[in-house]
Amino acid sequence: MLNKKRPIGIFDSGLGGLTVFKALRRQLPGEDIIYFGDTARVPYGTKSPEAVIAFSEEIAAFLFKKKIKLLVVACNTASSLALDEVRRISPVPVLGVILPGVEAALKAAPRGGRILVTGTSATVKSRAYSRALAAAGAGVRVTEKACPLFVPLVEEGWCGKPVALTVAREYLSPFRKKNIDALILGCTHYPMLKSVIARVMGPRTCIVDSAHYAALGARAELEGRGLLNPGRRGRSEFIVSDAPERFSALAGRLLGIKTGKVAIKRF
């Protein structure tokens, strides 16, 4: 039996999923949230589907033991490659970040419009966004573009430096004149580069932050099932598979999140 007091579980390949955590915290202030970052094996973006599925199942099983009432797969790569597999072994609802991003993008792009999906190599290669957009039957034209330097750029704390604009231009300026209606930030780190990306793309393009829409989706899911925690101030717990101090420091520096003590669970 699920009950309202149980925590929400969320995992990512590393710390990028903290953008989703932050959005969840904003939408769901009363919930207890357990965040797992697989920092021993980060990044997932260049790994094979088999590896990403195995890692995701392992982490999900670990979180199920913590008696969660909802699992959010914050990692775009894992959402692309492993969502079905995780659902298959899950006793609780499982939400990814792909569908919320897709739905938001479709609100910004008219029928026949153009959507550009940005993400890691693995997310782009999986074509998960293209397939989800096609399945939504909205008749949009979709292009996908991998941007592997964005993650280290964010982790270096360079989002506000000219080099961020140079790198963003290298990836995205060919698309500026292509009448893109919506650009999906298909990686949890990318919201931290939102203003730089918006500058390269120009005012015509709506920049879609999946993290925000994933949090709205989680809220709707809990409401629909009568599982919203009526509490005022939920607790947050952070667990990683390696290097907790680095995680804690970056969480503070990049996102202003005070993690407190970060626990370790090695696989």
Which one of the spans 2-10, 79-87, 153-161, 204-212 is the region binding its own copies (CB under 8 A)?
A: 153-161
Q: How far is the CB of 51 from its own copies (least distance, A)?
A: 5
Instruction: Kindly tell me which of 110 and 157 has the beta carbon lying closer to its own copies.
Output: 157
Number of helical (H) and strand (E) elements in the chain, helices listed first = 11, 10
263 binds its own copies (CB under 8 A): no
Burial class from Cβ neighbours inside 10 Å (0-12, 13-18, 19+) for residue 246 reads: middle
- Closest contact distance (angstroms) between CB of 170 and its own copies is 5
Per rule CB under 8 A, is residue 148 in the interface with its own copies? yes
Question: What is the total count of residues that contact its own copies (CB under 8 A)?
Answer: 27
Using the minimum distance from each CB to its own copies, give the nearer residue, 166 or 195: 166
Cross-strand pairs, 239: 36, 263
Place of tokens 């780190």: 189
Our finding on whether 152 is near its own copies (CB under 8 A) is yes
Q: Which is nearer to its own copies, 3 or 46 (CB)?
A: 46
Please answer whether residues 75 and 12 qualify as being in contact, where contact means their C-beta atoms are separated by less than 8 angstroms: yes
Residues 197, 184: Cα–Cα separation, whole Å: 11
* Range 35-74, binding its own copies (CB under 8 A): 39-42, 46-48, 50-51
Q: Is 95 in the site for its own copies (CB under 8 A)?
A: no
Residue 190 DSSP one-character state: G
CA distance 206 to 184: 9
**Residue 204 CB neighbour total at 10 angstroms:** 10
Residue 189 as a binder of its own copies (CB under 8 A): the answer is: no
Report the distance separating Cα 179 and Cα 165, nearest Å: 20
Contacts of 223 (CB under 8 A, 6+ apart): none
- Site mask for its own copies (CB under 8 A), range 230-259, x = bound: ------------xx--x-------------
**Residues designated catalytic:** 75, 187
- Which residue ranges make up the site for its own copies (CB under 8 A)? 39-42, 46-48, 50-51, 148-149, 151-153, 155-156, 158, 161-163, 166-167, 170, 242-243, 246, 266
